[in-house]
Structure 1
Amino acid sequence: MFKHLFKLIWNKKKQNFLLITEMFVSFLVLFAVFSMVVYFYQNYKKPAGFDYNDVWVATFSMPEHLQSNDSVNLFAEAMRNSLKSMPEIKELSFTSMNVPFSMSTNGTSVSSQQKPRVHTNIFEVEPTYKDVLSIHMVEGRWFQKGDHVAKLRPVVLNQKLKEELFGSEPALGKTLGEENYKTGQFEDRFKVIGVVQNLKETGDYQAIESGVYRGMDSGGLRWNNTILLKVQPGADAAFESRLFKTLSNMTGTSIEIEHLEKKRITKNKLALVPMIIMLIVGGFLIINVAMGLFGVLWYNINKRRGEIGLRRAIGASGSAVSKQLIGEAMVLSTMALIVGSFFAVQFPLLHVFDLPASVYVAAILLAIVFIYLLVFVCALYPGKQAAAIYPAVALHEE
């Protein structure tokens, strides 16, 4: 049976080559689309690692008349006391501008004995940062008052950075080096005091990034003019208006108040844009492939009415004729998938785009199943039409 199918395909190799090429290109496009879909889905399934509900972000500028660190710290303490006096605010924390779901980034390179250079995000935070976001500790402890006076600055790592730097070894008590931009050398500057669960700070669909948290020192408040506020559930626009007025009166500068939940939605929408574009392109391609395949099979039936009539005249059943046409289409798709799979397998082998191998494997399987289903559906109706051809009519027309 297969030998006969290959012989029929070979006799029309030029026409079939175009079909194989069309299905090969379709497979590659579907592989790319499914890779993105699987990648986003795997990221979406991971836990957030923190609670962003009822958390607001307030950004401001320090008044220009504050010159010394002492005056800045006194002003920040007065602001903290004023805000905490509001019953709607449960907790607050000054932090750097790269809060969760923001467009701001702050990066550095750190090193350990196992890894000489690892790029990571760095977050300047206060001890209350953990309580505002309900962060879960995996090892060790969070920051305490007085940690910033230690010789080596205490830091907390997320699980991803801990695994990159130390693998399965414990991280507590170990030192990290940071690059000295004047000399270009890495010098021991940090001591690990804790490890926290990974936080999906870049959105639900993006990969978790490495992160190191370090306590904000007395001079950090001058440059870190962002406050995270944990508010009571149900805090409304009236309270937001009072909060805005309070901050504006204290700073005399422009104030911006955002909700982490809304920032998360915006961040997720931006992440989905490339996937939506890929889905649209892939959808148009699949429609064109389906129409082309359906048209070619229909054309083949009309061209091969004499052959089909002869097969029916010598005893072939209608179902056998239908299976033959469907079988030819499936063999053509198998040829295209073998070539396409060869190229697709190179992605996990060569670590292209540095995605997990499971993403590519799942995308290959999904693309194969989709192509087979598409070809089967497109060949099914023409196959039934071929099975309905009467031998006498077909031979009479010839």
Structure 2
Amino acid sequence: MIKHLFKLIWNKKKQNFLLITEMFISFLVIFGVFASLVYYYRNYKKPMGFTYDNVWVINYQNAKQFHSTDSVLQYYATLVAMLKNMPQIKALSFASGNVPFTSSINTTGLNYKGRNLSPVNFYQTGDGYRDAFNLNLLEGRWFNQQDQVSTYRPVVINAALRERLFGNGRAVGQLINDNANSVVKKIKIIGVVQDMKDKGDYLPSGMALYNRIDTGAMRYMGQLIIKVSPNADAAFESKLYKTVASYMKDASVEIEHFSKKRENTNKSTLIPIIILCIIAGFLIINVALGLFGVLWYNINRRRGEIGLRRAVGATGSSVSAQLIQESMILATFALIIGTFFAVQFPILNVFDIAASTYIIAIVLAVLFIYLLVFLCSLYPGKQAAAIYPAVALHEE
């Protein structure tokens, strides 16, 4: 029976080649969609690693410039003292521009025992950064005033970077090389925090390095992160804005809520995958209609063949099964070719995505194409089974 099916498929190889090509292209598109969905879903299931509710960021630009470092420190120390006097503010910290849920990115390169790691997300943070976001400390400690006189520049890393550098080994106290600005400097790890998904719910945290803001970098900061109490309302936000704007007269001030920034970031992340799903949906509909039409056309052309088979004793179910099996064999040819190209993604580590994500996407795409072909073959097969031998042979 299988040999007979292959012979029938080979006799219509030109027509079947076009159908196989259509299934092959559909498989690649479906594979891309499933790979994206699995990638986003697996990232979504991971914990955020920090809290963003009741956390705001004060953005200021073109702040007052000073020639003396002491003047800069005094200027911002006065601002911090003013804000700490407000009972609604529970924690605050200056930070670099790549705060959570923004498109700003700052990276560096690291070297440890001859192994280079790049890119590593680089964050400039203050002592209150951990309290503001309630970061989960896995090992060691966070920054404090004692780090101003450290022999080596103290840093905190996240769990992803620790795994790449030391596996499950202890990281606190280790010295690594920072290759920023083409100048190699020794830095010392003092703590490890849980991965922080600061690019939204659907993107990975990546490797992260947190550096304590030093006196020389204060003049370049433009963000002040504050954690407020749950009862902080619009009236307090207005008061906060007036306080900061009146003190920083030369700066443009804006207050943002991280909860709203998260929503906007997630929307911008999901837009491309939504567009891809819509395009894939139209393609699937076209493939289904095309497959349905081809099978329907084949039945009309093969009425004599089907009638003859029924006349010699073939049952309606066997005729229907034959058409479905032919379609599934064609789908198998297309999937073998498509899988060959799809497996190159995990082998070549394309886009630096885990191989298991691609493997799951391949399995889902294969099952989806088989299901689509099977469903599109059911009704034409049923119509073929309903052909009466006498009517079909009479028409011939």
CA contact (8 A) 1:112 1:166 kept: no
- Matched residue type, 2:160: K
Counterparts of 2:46 and 2:380, CA distance in 1:
45
Structure 1 partner of 2:239? 242
Instruction: Give the superposition deviation at 1:244.
Output: 0.8
3-state SS, counterpart of residue 170 of structure 1: coil
Structure 2 partner of 1:346? 344
Counterparts of 1:180 and 1:329, CA distance in 2:
58
Instruction: Say if 1:365 and 1:215 are closer, same or farther in 2 by CA, change over 3 A.
Output: same
Structure 2 partner of 1:32? 32
3-state SS, counterpart of residue 120 of structure 1: strand
Instruction: Give the superposition deviation at 1:289.
Output: 0.7
Counterparts of 1:119 and 1:142, CA distance in 2:
23
CA contact (8 A) 2:178 2:184 kept: yes
1:321 pairs with 2:304: no
| TM-score under structure 2 length normalisation | 0.96
Counterparts of 2:103 and 2:2, CA distance in 1:
58
Structure 1 partner of 2:4? 4
Instruction: Give the superposition deviation at 1:316.
Output: 1.1
Structure 1 partner of 2:165? 165
Q: Which residues in structure 2 correspond to 1:1-398 (within 5 Å)?
A: 1-61=1-61, 63-64=63-64, 66-179=66-179, 181=181, 184=182, 186-188=184-186, 190-252=187-249, 253-398=251-396
Instruction: Say if 1:387 and 1:197 are closer, same or farther in 2 by CA, change over 3 A.
Output: same
CA contact (8 A) 1:148 1:215 kept: no
Instruction: Give the superposition deviation at 1:225.
Output: 2.5
RMSD: 1.4
Instruction: Give the superposition deviation at 1:2.
Output: 1.3
Counterparts of 1:180 and 1:208, CA distance in 2:
20
Instruction: Say if 1:204 and 1:63 are closer, same or farther in 2 by CA, change over 3 A.
Output: closer
- Matched residue type, 1:309: G
Instruction: Give the superposition deviation at 1:260.
Output: 0.6
3-state SS, counterpart of residue 60 of structure 1: strand
Instruction: Give the superposition deviation at 1:297.
Output: 0.2
Instruction: Give the superposition deviation at 1:68.
Output: 1.6
3-state SS, counterpart of residue 327 of structure 2: helix
3-state SS, counterpart of residue 343 of structure 2: helix
Counterparts of 1:180 and 1:43, CA distance in 2:
29
Counterparts of 1:159 and 1:264, CA distance in 2:
22
3-state SS, counterpart of residue 228 of structure 1: strand
Give per-residue Cα distances to partners, 1:216-258, cap 9 Å, x unaligned. Answer: 1222221112111111114222221111111100101210111
CA contact (8 A) 2:124 2:210 kept: yes
- Matched residue type, 2:90: K
Instruction: Say if 1:67 and 1:61 are closer, same or farther in 2 by CA, change over 3 A.
Output: farther
Q: Percent identity?
A: 56
- Matched residue type, 2:380: P
Deviates more, 1:14-23 or 1:219-228: 219-228
Counterparts of 1:185 and 1:84, CA distance in 2:
38
Counterparts of 1:180 and 1:362, CA distance in 2:
38
Counterparts of 1:31 and 1:62, CA distance in 2:
48
Instruction: Give the superposition deviation at 1:193.
Output: 0.6
CA contact (8 A) 2:108 2:180 kept: no
Counterparts of 2:31 and 2:387, CA distance in 1:
38
Counterparts of 1:264 and 1:180, CA distance in 2:
29
Instruction: Say if 1:297 and 1:65 are closer, same or farther in 2 by CA, change over 3 A.
Output: closer
Instruction: Give the superposition deviation at 1:319.
Output: 0.9
Counterparts of 2:348 and 2:291, CA distance in 1:
33
Give per-residue Cα distances to partners, 1:78-104, cap 9 Å, x unaligned. Answer: 211211222221111111111111122
Instruction: Give the superposition deviation at 1:365.
Output: 0.5
CA contact (8 A) 2:299 2:380 kept: yes
CA contact (8 A) 2:62 2:252 kept: no
Counterparts of 1:255 and 1:63, CA distance in 2:
9
- Matched residue type, 1:90: K
- Matched residue type, 1:64: K
Deviates more, 1:324-333 or 1:98-107: 98-107
3-state SS, counterpart of residue 146 of structure 1: helix
Counterparts of 2:49 and 2:158, CA distance in 1:
10
Counterparts of 2:148 and 2:271, CA distance in 1:
42
Instruction: Say if 1:65 and 1:13 are closer, same or farther in 2 by CA, change over 3 A.
Output: closer
Instruction: Say if 1:77 and 1:95 are closer, same or farther in 2 by CA, change over 3 A.
Output: same
CA contact (8 A) 1:61 1:251 kept: no
Instruction: Say if 1:175 and 1:296 are closer, same or farther in 2 by CA, change over 3 A.
Output: same
- Matched residue type, 1:244: Y
Counterparts of 1:209 and 1:117, CA distance in 2:
12
3-state SS, counterpart of residue 115 of structure 2: coil
- Matched residue type, 1:134: N
Instruction: Give the superposition deviation at 1:270.
Output: 1.4
CA contact (8 A) 1:89 1:232 kept: yes
3-state SS, counterpart of residue 86 of structure 1: coil
Unaligned 5+ runs, structure 1: none
Unaligned 5+ runs, structure 2: none
Counterparts of 2:107 and 2:101, CA distance in 1:
16
